[in-house]
Amino acid sequence: MQVLKAIDIQSNTYFALKVQIGSHEMVQIKSCPVRFWDKTNKVWLIPYSTDNWNTLMSKMNNLPYTISEEIVRLNYIPSRYPVKDKSVTSSKGIHKTVELNENALKARDRMKEQLIVKRYQLSTFKSYLSSVTEYFAYYKDQNPSELSLEDIRKFMLYKINKDTISESTQNCLINAIKFYYEMVEGREKFYLTDLRPRKAHKLPGFLNKKDTIKLLMASENIKHRTILQLIYSGGLRLGELTRLKVRDINFEDNLITVKCAKGKKDRITILAKTVKPLLKTYIDQYKPKYYLFEGQTGGKYSDRSVQNILHQALIKSGVDENTTVHTLRHTFATHMVLDGIDIRKVQELLGHNSIETTAIYTHITDKMKKDTISPLDNLDLSNR
């Protein structure tokens, strides 16, 4: 076995291991909880840490190895940016195979590279690439670089009228197409405001404190209960929860470090004192090595698994079945405002760029204030 060093585009480091296919070393590497296969360099990648090295060596049973000074440069983050060349999930959620012409395939490869260079989150990467693939497939006999604003308009009207896409999908398609032409083709910035849906002003859903308690205590599984309570504790988004690493938890200062959140921002949020004993018990029992919540075969816990945990907790608790993981984030913010926490502190904890985004929670709590008195009640009309 040869041991090298690998560095990804976010400067994360890995042990890069070269072994023979089918060898005892490969079997042992695959049994490690966190490992990735890099097919380009034909190496196994394990996140660099003393614990991971000790785990690997205990599995190798003193088999010989050599250390190389060669550094493997990765133009991606392991486990991220999976793409199938001829497959796309349509805006209706249907996974189908599409045929793209040679120019479109090259255009999509360039789009993929630019998304990686700009270090977009995996969810955005997938949705943007899927969106432009649909767009390219619609004009299957044409070169994407030669399409005009009128062609974009025609495609968007087709999706709105024929496929009856949602408002969010409509915006995603426009954003992805704009990204391609502005960031890949280098066209001047352009706007498609006439094809944007009117902005809805909806109040986010949230749970009252009684239902919140019922939901957070519904699961008997310690891992599941920890996950739900941690989301509410820090107002975490789904992806932020699943990307948490063991080192992101600061027990001493009661803080959670959220790395690379929405908008490529890091932030600090709250680790509730009441969740600490539960979290410590979970760590002692499950012994996560890298990610705080790991799947059965290693790697980070999937978003779908967290959604399933919530679904089961909703059934057991009897709480509103329309509750989502993001509802817990809204609930965190609403309860903070109700408890008198300054709105700018709430903004900081949520990671909002604008105070206007956070201010929506003050609108919710204003509607809930039962001690507000009508001016009519202050008038003495008894003798009139």
- Residues whose CB falls within 8 Å of the CB of residue 367, separated by 6 or more in sequence, listed in order: none
Question: Is 282 in the active site?
Answer: no
Query: How buried is 148 (Cβ within 10 angstroms: 0-12 exposed, 13-18 middle, 19+ buried)?
Result: exposed
Q: How far apart are CA 271 and CA 282, in angstroms?
A: 15
87 strand-pairing partners: 97
Helix or strand (DSSP H, E) at 64: none
Residue 179, Cα to own-chain centre: how many angstroms?
A: 20
Angle CA(315)–CA(318)–CA(323) in degrees, nearest 5? 75
Of the residues 224, 225, 237, 300, which is catalytic? 237
Of the residues 262, 276, 311, 316, which is catalytic? 262
- CA distance readout (Å), 29 to 92, 260, 288: 39, 28, 17
Of the residues 108, 224, 329, 330, which is catalytic? 329
Question: Is 243 in the active site?
Answer: no
Question: Is 352 in the active site?
Answer: yes
CB count in 10 Å sphere of residue 201: 7
Q: How far apart are CA 96 and CA 87, in angstroms?
A: 6
Token code pair at residue 161: 């009228």
Q: How far apart are CA 284 and CA 251, in angstroms?
A: 14
Q: How far apart are CA 52 and CA 289, in angstroms?
A: 7
Question: Is 329 in the active site?
Answer: yes
Question: Is 112 in the active site?
Answer: no
Question: Is 300 in the active site?
Answer: no
Q: How far apart are CA 345 and CA 347, in angstroms?
A: 5
Token code pair at residue 54: 């000790």
- Residues marked as catalytic: 237, 262, 326, 329, 352, 361
